[in-house]
Structure 1
Amino acid sequence: MDYNKFILFGDSITQYSTQQAGYTPFLTDKYVRKLDVLNRGYAGYTTEHGRLILPKILEIESNKEKDNIKLITIFLGTNDCYENNNWIQPTKIERTKENIEYLIDLALSYNIKPIVIGPGLHDYNLVIEKSQAVKATNNRRNLEYSEVIKSVAKAKNVPFIDTWNLMLQDSKFTKEEIFEDPPLEEYLIDGIHYTTKSYVLLTKEIYKTIEYNYPELLPENLPFKLSYWRDIDPKNLDTIFTNTYKQD
């Protein structure tokens, strides 16, 4: 009854992906009776916070053999991009790079297959409208951080999801227009956090990334836990544990 695990690690975008349209319920459904999908998203956190807490998470969730956590998404950097809104979140790009390197290396040391996700688009006018915050970042700066995180993933030979360009390609804007910070309420509910549309885009990309890079970990290639109910011998209920549940 000990399930292997799929950890979703990140900031508020991961935390709030528990919504109906987010990737947490989608992946939980896909991996039901196969992997336990654990949401470990922490609103407001940066890579600096992430490098402190991921070791604790893996220490608790991993077995002694370090072979029970199969997948992890590492989705941090959105809050790192901030530059003048507070003293807690802004993180220099060089430090973000170091932190992402550390997080990837840590996951690999636990024999976990990582998927790194970069920060997406930003609408600072919508942020100001919804929260009366100062202009903390922009799409050019988000792209710079995304590209640095991408370079780390490439150097480590692990898959990277380019959320910034994923959103751009789906939008009606050119790259030059995005740099002018146009309204993006179709993708961002408050300038930062994702609408249903953005979550659907990202969810599909996560699944495609598993399919392309880690096909052995697709749901259809993993065994079910416990027997199919029709295969259980009513005279010997221990066959719950011995029969194989074959997916159609």
Structure 2
Amino acid sequence: MGYPKFILFGDSITQHANEIQGNFALQPALQDWYIRKLDILNRGYSGYNSEHARVILPHILDAELNAEKNNVKLITIFFGTNDGFVDNNPIQPISLERYRENIDYLVSLAIENNIKPIVIGPSLHDPKICKKVLPHLKPGGEDATSNKRYYQYSEAAREVCKNRKVAFVDLWDEFRKDGGWTRDQLFQVNGSLENWEVGSLGHLLSDGVHFTGHAYKIMYDAIKKAIGKHYPEFLPDNLATNLAVWSDINPTDLKNSIFK
């Protein structure tokens, strides 16, 4: 009765994937997509970065993998939001080169354990909302990060995925396309400007960093698209349903017909 597993691994954006934001929640949507086929496990850790991730992922896999290492099928790897902060504290920011190394390590660990990785790059940032709702990120009033910085981290993750030939979800660009903005317009967004051409990013970012339901829906659609493109064997229609369909149950031979 042990179901194969799909692990969501990341920071607070992953941790909050169970919560209904507006009218959508990511993890329940994925569980519904994979109902009776894969169990969706949330291993999101608020505030964590890729350096923390490389310490804990081996322990997560030790706990979840069976002896044959064939029961964890998919894993999302979504770090970079905290890594990309600009010297706001001694715990979270990680240099771009070290971030690249960490993502490569996490991907290699997944591959070594027969797990298909889906790397998700950091998305966008709204410094005005962030300063209002999350002032602790930069007590001095400076911007906690920038869209250009997140773009650089996202591109580093993309490069790793290209080299490793694994799935990459470009949330930075997915969000950009949703808002109809250009890259240069988003690069100009900072806390010192009174007006940006892009306007507010509030329909995507509830506090300048974390996702609204609309943003999670974009992420959900992008994950499904990445699986279809890179790992079509793990689309729900290509996976066996756990236990017999009710109409195939033989009332005179329950055990054999249910577990056939």
TM-score tier, shorter chain, comes to over 0.9
1-structure distance, mates of 2:123, 2:165:
21
SS of alignment partner, residue 177 of structure 1: helix
Gaps of 5+ in 2: 190-195
> 1:70: Cα distance to partner?
0.6
Gaps of 5+ in 1: 244-248
> 1:240: Cα distance to partner?
4.5
Residue 7 of structure 1 is matched in structure 2 by 7
Question: Does the alignment pair 1:26 with 2:29?
Answer: yes
Residue among 234, 239, 242 paired with 1:217: 234
1-structure distance, mates of 2:5, 2:87:
38
Q: Compute the RMSD of aligned alpha carbons.
A: 1.2
Residue 145 of structure 1 is matched in structure 2 by 153
2-structure distance, mates of 1:107, 1:201:
24
Residue 164 of structure 1 is matched in structure 2 by 172
Question: Does the alignment pair 1:39 with 2:12?
Answer: no
Residue 125 of structure 1 is matched in structure 2 by 128
**Cα distance change, pair 240–41 in 1 and its aligned pair in 2 (3 A):** farther
> 1:43: Cα distance to partner?
0.8
Moved more, 94-103 or 166-175: 166-175
2-structure distance, mates of 1:173, 1:4:
40
Question: Is the 1:123–1:192 Cα contact (8 Å) retained in structure 2?
Answer: yes
Question: Is the 1:6–1:38 Cα contact (8 Å) retained in structure 2?
Answer: yes
Normalising by structure 2, we get a TM-score of 0.90
2-structure distance, mates of 1:14, 1:240:
39
2-structure distance, mates of 1:239, 1:30:
27
2-structure distance, mates of 1:142, 1:22:
24
Q: Which runs of 4+ in 1 moved over 3 A?
A: 240-243
Residue among 213, 238, 243 paired with 2:255: 238
2-structure distance, mates of 1:129, 1:197:
21
1-structure distance, mates of 2:60, 2:123:
25
Paired letter, 2:164: K
Question: Does the alignment pair 1:78 with 2:114?
Answer: no
Question: Is the 1:22–1:203 Cα contact (8 Å) retained in structure 2?
Answer: no
2-structure distance, mates of 1:198, 1:90:
23
SS of alignment partner, residue 115 of structure 1: strand
> 1:125: Cα distance to partner?
1.4
After superposition, the C-alpha distances for 1:40-76 in whole angstroms (9 at most, x for unaligned) are 1111110001001110011110011111111111011
1-structure distance, mates of 2:7, 2:154:
21
Structure possessing the higher relative contact order (Cα contacts under 8 Å, 6 or more residues apart): 2
2-structure distance, mates of 1:170, 1:230:
43
After superposition, the C-alpha distances for 1:3-51 in whole angstroms (9 at most, x for unaligned) are 1111111011111111232321111001111111101111111000100
2-structure distance, mates of 1:125, 1:106:
38
Question: Does the alignment pair 1:188 with 2:205?
Answer: yes
Paired letter, 1:214: Y
2-structure distance, mates of 1:153, 1:48:
18
After superposition, the C-alpha distances for 1:150-186 in whole angstroms (9 at most, x for unaligned) are 1111111111111111111111322111112142111
SS of alignment partner, residue 222 of structure 2: helix
SS of alignment partner, residue 238 of structure 1: helix
Paired letter, 2:3: Y
> 1:230: Cα distance to partner?
2.5
User: How many pairs does the alignment contain?
Assistant: 243
Normalising by structure 1, we get a TM-score of 0.95
1-structure distance, mates of 2:243, 2:257:
6
SS of alignment partner, residue 70 of structure 1: strand
1-structure distance, mates of 2:113, 2:77:
14
Query: What is the identity percentage for the equivalent residue pairs of Structure 1 and Structure 2?
Result: 48
Question: Is the 1:80–1:91 Cα contact (8 Å) retained in structure 2?
Answer: yes
Question: Is the 1:163–1:202 Cα contact (8 Å) retained in structure 2?
Answer: yes
> 1:241: Cα distance to partner?
3.5
